[in-house]
């Protein structure tokens, strides 16, 4: 790991479905909104004839291309850095990246490479349960004294995991992690999309599941309503 660096450091939660970015200021972590006024940015990269799109606008692209894992991750990381630099009004070089609990050592390397490709000093790569526990500890000063067990439930967009951690005199250690890497919020979305498809077919005698653009439109509208509920 690159280690210490001068200047502000950002924290990037690089998720399989959504990513977000935060910065420490005013004695707390500030989660930065993107250009769509959302705190979460889809971990999507879409391509056009003139370049590429990242985030919400990329999800509207139907075409598919294959790229190396670190190449796509680096594009998402750069987007995250652009969001926070616009917020801070200054250049950011240092980053801490949170990764899924199930990532092994071989998966850490592409994540680190993704940041290095675009000149970021990757100070630390930390698994998500540890970052959640650190955030919890910031609001609970008693965690820095004695020993405590903490159970973290993480239901993400693409995966679900439960981790047992110990906090001993301010030292965090993941004891065990279990879960399902094929269960997440996207699965709930898919169930609802399928329900709407069946309802539309029942009422209008048309099957929109055979039309990729209609299907994408249903999914986009669904996500918009979910985000409205989440914000409210």
Tens-digit pLDDT profile for residues 168-191: 877 888 898 888 988 998 899 999
CA 154 to chain centre: 12
> Who has greater pLDDT, 44 or 181?
181
Give residue limits of the domains in the chain.
Answer: 9-131, 142-180, 186-231
Which fold does the domain 9-131 belong to in CATH?
Nucleotidyltransferase; domain 5 (3.30.420)
Predicted pLDDT at 8: 74
Quick check: 133 pLDDT over 70? yes
Q: How confident is the model at residue 208 (pLDDT cuts 50, 70, 90)?
A: very high
Query: How far is residue 203 from each of residues 17, 114, 155, 199, measured CA to CA in Å?
Result: 32, 48, 34, 6
pLDDT at 121 over 80: yes
pLDDT at 167 over 50: yes
- For residues 109 and 53, the model is more confident at 109
**What pLDDT is recorded for position 4?**
59
Q: Which residues contact 162 (CB under 8 A, 6 or more apart)?
A: 151, 152, 153, 154, 177, 178, 179
Give the global pTM. 0.70
Query: Are 9-131 and 142-180 equal in CATH topology?
Result: yes
pLDDT above 60: residue 60: no
Please return the burial class of 21, using the count of CB atoms within 10 Å of its CB with bins 0-12, 13-18 and 19+: buried
**DSSP line for the chain:** -----SS-EEEEEE-SSEEEEEEEETTEEEEPP-TTS-S-EE--EEEETTEEEESTGGGG--------HHHHHHHHHHHHHHHHHHHHTS---EEEEEE-TT--HHHHHHHHHHHHHTT-EEEEEEEHHHHHHHHHHHH-GGGGSSEEEEEEEEE-SS-EEEEEEEEETTEEEEEEEEEETT-SHHHHHHHHHHHHHHHHHHHHS--GGG-HHHHHHHHHHHHHHHHHHHH-
Q: Is 3.30.420.40 the CATH number for 142-180?
A: yes
Confidence of residue 195 (pLDDT cuts 50, 70, 90): very high
pLDDT score recorded for residue 1: 47
């Amino acid at each position: 790991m690159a280690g210490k660096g001068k200047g502000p450091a950002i924290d990037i939660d690089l998720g399989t479905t959504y990513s977000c970015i935060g910065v420490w200021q005013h004695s707390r972590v500030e989660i930065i909104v993107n250009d769509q006024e959302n705190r979460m940015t889809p971990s999507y990269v879409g391509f056009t004839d003139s370049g590429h799109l990242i985030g919400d606008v990329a999800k509207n692209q139907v075409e598919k291309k294959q790229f190396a894992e670190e190449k796509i991750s680096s594009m998402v990381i750069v987007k995250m850095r652009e969001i926070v630099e616009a917020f801070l009004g200054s250049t950011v070089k240092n980053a801490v990246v949170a990764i899924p609990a199930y990532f092994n050592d071989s998966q850490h390397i592409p994540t680190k490479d993704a940041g290095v490709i675009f000149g970021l000093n990757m100070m630390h790569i930390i698994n998500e349960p540890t970052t959640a526990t650190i955030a919890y500890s910031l609001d609970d000063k008693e965690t820095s004294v004695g020993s405590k067990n903490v159970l973290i439930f993480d239901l993400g967009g693409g995966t679900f995991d439960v981790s047992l951690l110990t906090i001993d005199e301010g030292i965090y250690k993941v004891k065990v992690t279990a879960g399902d890497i094929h269960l997440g919020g996207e699965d709930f979305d898919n169930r609802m999309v399928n329900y709407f498809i069946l309802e539309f077919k029942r009422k209008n005698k048309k099957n929109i599941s055979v039309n990729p653009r209609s299907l994408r439109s249903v999914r986009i509208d669904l996500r918009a309503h979910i985000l409205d509920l989440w914000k409210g």
